[in-house]
């Protein structure tokens, strides 16, 4: 099967999956809007945040689905190395995720809480919409990182030049994050025990405090806080979505790792992530 045939098969699966999720999303969105109307708070900040959180979760979940479908289908058809495989996977992911971002964003901003006209509402709308965009970008970057690793795995397996446990791959994760692997993606190899999850949450809180204490920084504190919140929410689940979680955690790492003043907090974060199988430089 050619690459184009493989991605056509993936696209067919994604269309069916996303159509079903669109229906579920519409139902959940309507419930939240109805609840806000009954409470007399359809234009409130709380109603706005509930809708935005719903769509942030959805775009992250869809990123995980894209990654999983590409991996599963490539294994099923025995995809072979081709010139520029990573670039072709990247192009497919960017096109697919950009389309999902645009569709979900348009759906999100069409909800009643986004119709507020006061300056306070407009400011809140701009802020939360930006948070959605950032979460979407982080999710897409996570899929791109996984596809870079997949392309390397396919090439290595075909050439039979790299033994198990000896692969070291520099992939296009945020800000040059290095991943190593045993022919497995970071999202598939992480193990989140309750103790490890608690350690990661504590490390995230240390990072959040450290960033808040900075007097001057190029880091967008609100966006970082939103991503950290998404990480905590995923870690609190009985069965976290590993693809989504790894993408979010890499997003946090990529945001803070080059800031010298955050080095102690970053080291704590790096140690915590190593406990669940996510290596950071």
pTM of the model as a whole? 0.60
Structure tokens at 13: 């699966």
Judged on CB neighbours under 10 Å (0-12, 13-18, 19+), 278 is buried
Distance CA 13, CA 64 (A): 14
- Within the chain, strands assigned E span 167-170, 178-181
Query: Are 252 and 226 spatial neighbours (Cβ–Cβ below 8 Å)?
Result: no
The pLDDT score that the predictor gives to residue 160 is: 53
The pLDDT score that the predictor gives to residue 201 is: 93
| Rg for the chain, CA atoms, rounded | 20
- Locate the domains of the chain by residue range: 3-164, 190-274
pLDDT for 202-213, tens place per residue?
Answer: 999 888 888 888
pLDDT for 122-164, tens place per residue?
Answer: 888 899 999 999 999 988 888 888 888 888 888 877 765 444 4
pLDDT for 27 beyond 50: yes
pLDDT for 165 beyond 50: no
């Amino acid at each position: 099967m050619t690459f184009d045939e493989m991605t056509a098969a993936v696209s067919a699966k994604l269309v069916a999956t996303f159509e079903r999720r669109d229906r579920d999303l519409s139902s959940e969105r309507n419930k939240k809007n109805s609840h806000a109307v009954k409470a007399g708070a359809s234009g409130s900040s709380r109603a706005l945040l509930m809708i935005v959180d719903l769509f942030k979760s959805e775009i992250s979940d869809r990123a995980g689905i894209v990654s999983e479908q590409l991996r599963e289908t490539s294994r099923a058809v025995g995809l072979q190395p081709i010139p520029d495989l990573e670039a072709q996977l990247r192009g497919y992911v960017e096109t697919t995720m950009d389309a999902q971002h645009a569709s979900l964003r348009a759906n999100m901003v069409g909800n009643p809480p986004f119709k507020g006209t006061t300056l306070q509402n407009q400011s809140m709308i701009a802020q939360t919409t930006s948070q959605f965009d950032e979460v979407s970008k982080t999710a897409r970057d996570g899929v791109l990182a996984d596809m870079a690793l997949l392309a390397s795995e396919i090439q290595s397996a075909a050439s039979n030049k790299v033994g198990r446990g000896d692969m070291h791959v520099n992939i296009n994760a945020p800000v040059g994050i290095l991943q190593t692997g045993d022919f497995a993606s970071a999202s598939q190899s992480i193990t989140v025990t309750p103790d490890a999850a608690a350690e990661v949450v504590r490390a995230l809180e240390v990072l959040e405090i450290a960033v808040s204490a900075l007097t001057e920084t190029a880091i967008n504190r609100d966006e970082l806080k939103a991503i950290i919140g998404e990480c905590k929410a995923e870690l609190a689940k009985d069965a976290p979505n590993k693809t989504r979680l790894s993408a979010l955690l890499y997003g946090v790492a990529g945001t803070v790792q080059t800031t010298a003043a955050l080095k102690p907090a970053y080291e704590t974060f790096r140690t915590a992530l190593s406990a669940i199988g996510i290596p950071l430089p």
